[in-house]
Amino acid sequence: MDIRALRYFVEVVQLNGFSRASDTLCVTQPAISRTIQHLEDELGFKLLIREVDGVKLTDEGNILFDQAKELLRQFNAIKHSLKDKSGPLKGTLNVGIPPIISSTYFADIILTFTKLHPQVELKIFEMGTNKIIKALNEGTIETATVVLPLSDHNFDIQKCSTERLALIVNKSHSFASKKEIQFIKLLQQPLILFADDFRINDLIISACGIHSAKPIIAGRSNHLDLITAMVKAGVGITLLPESMWEQNSKEDLVIIPVIDPILSYEIALVNVRSIYQSRSCQSWNQLVLDKFLSK
């Protein structure tokens, strides 16, 4: 069994097909098929079943898939540590950040990091917390800042800040003149939320559940600018972090504190436990912690 065979196997499963894996790996389909066949022969088990719409894992394939992902992550960490001995920091650092907090805190951090380490290519992946956790587990990103809580115990977690959600409406909305508003008053209003994988949606839906209600969802988006544009156009209302709004206030929109309950959540820096952190990653993490601690 070799790393190449495991990588081919994992790629075929994740992309649900030999053709897509071939394109991603830049390896011919017959070569991938032969490699996986040799892997099956070596292990003595059928791992994959080809179907019209992709591939299906056997029971043995499921076991290998979970273990292979972990082995590949460990292998990548070993390669990283061997290359990362001394001298100026080089290479690539992949970082995950939810869009809901990226604009508020991370412009300064990114600027400082790139000045300190000009030879490091910094790749920022903006996505919801659920996708960030998946990417960390798969080794696609090395470090991330997320919205708590996390159900996965595979991470080292350093809490950074507590944030509070506030109501955002356009200036013509009937709520626009209010100094604060009870959450129950929002239940009959059309809401614009972030996409499904964003953790703050869970906070909003849980608050609705306190009143045995479901939110009236007028729309969803991954992009803050589109959400605020929809609010401005009168499509609905939204809930965003107060800190974000303080730094990104927009004309024709009003921010109103929400009470009963106050909707708050914690932000944390997370890394996969027991995985080597490159010096680039360590430097980034320290900048993040310094930024939040200086608030």
Per-position pLDDT tens, the chain of length 295: 789 999 999 999 999 999 889 888 888 989 999 999 999 999 999 999 988 888 999 999 999 999 999 888 888 877 776 665 666 788 899 999 988 787 778 989 999 999 999 999 999 999 888 889 989 988 899 999 998 988 777 899 999 989 899 999 999 999 999 999 999 999 999 999 988 778 888 899 999 999 999 999 999 998 888 999 999 999 999 999 888 776 555 678 999 999 988 999 999 999 998 788 888 999 999 999 998 877 6
- What's the confidence (pLDDT) of residue 110? 95
Indicate the domain borders of the chain.
3-83, 91-160+266-293, 162-264
The pTM for the full model equals 0.67
* Cα 131 → chain centroid: 4
What does the DSSP 8-state code read for residue 78? H
pLDDT at 83 (0 to 100): 67
CATH class of 91-160+266-293: alpha beta
Distance CA 54, CA 225 (A): 37
**Which pairing describes strands 91-97 and 120-126: parallel, antiparallel, or unpaired?**
parallel
Task: Write the class of the CATH domain 3-83.
Answer: mainly alpha
Q: Could you give the CA distance from residue 51 to residue 212 in angstroms, rounded to a whole number? A: 43
Looking only at the bridges linking them, the beta strands covering 253-259 and 181-182 are parallel
Instruction: Please calculate the CA angle 88-91-95 and round it to the nearest 5 degrees.
Output: 115
Residue 25: exposure state from Cβ atoms within 10 A (0-12, 13-18, ≥19): middle
Report the distance separating Cα 294 and Cα 65, nearest Å. 43
Pick from 42, 41, 46, 48: which is nearest to 14 by CA? 48
User: How many helices (DSSP H) and strands (DSSP E) are in the chain?
Assistant: 10, 12
Q: What are phi and psi of 3, to 5 degrees?
A: -60, -40
Q: What is the CATH number of domain 162-264?
A: 3.40.190.290
Fold match between domain 3-83 and domain 162-264: no
Examine residue 99 and say whether the peptide bond preceding it is cis (omega within 30 degrees of 0). Answer: no
